[in-house]
Amino acid sequence: MRLIPVKQALNMMENAATAKSEYRKLTFLTAKKDRSLSLEHENGTVMLHEQGYRDERATFDVAIDSEATRECKHAVKQAFKREFPRSHKVYVSAVK
């Protein structure tokens, strides 16, 4: 696990929300590690798991159409801003 700036983490999450992502699982944690945001890829679907302020799971089928990819990117950005509102750096754990 390494500490990276929030802007770099948001770009990583948006790129991981597409069907061509190089990561199978991408997890971001706050400094206290009490809130997290995860993206998991399985056969053309992306599962977004948000744990912290909200405890939600959302699934997007990004392999079929670009509309689902746009929805996934929008959901990722909203969840990221909700979970890390005042953070400057976050921990990242990536599985390729």
> Using CA atoms, how far apart are residues 57 and 39, in angstroms rounded to an integer?
10
CATH number at residue 36: 3.30.1490
Closest residue by Cα to residue 39 from 90, 73, 85: 73
Closest residue by Cα to residue 40 from 53, 28, 27: 27
User: Domain residues for 14?
Assistant: 2-95
Model confidence, pTM:
0.85
Domain count, the chain: 1
Tell me, what DSSP letter sits at residue 35? -
> Using CA atoms, how far apart are residues 55 and 50, in angstroms rounded to an integer?
6
Q: What is the chain's pLDDT, residue by residue, as a tens digit (96 residues)?
A: 899 999 999 899 888 888 788 889 999 999 899 999 999 998 888 899 999 988 999 998 887 777 888 898 899 999 999 999 998 999 999 998
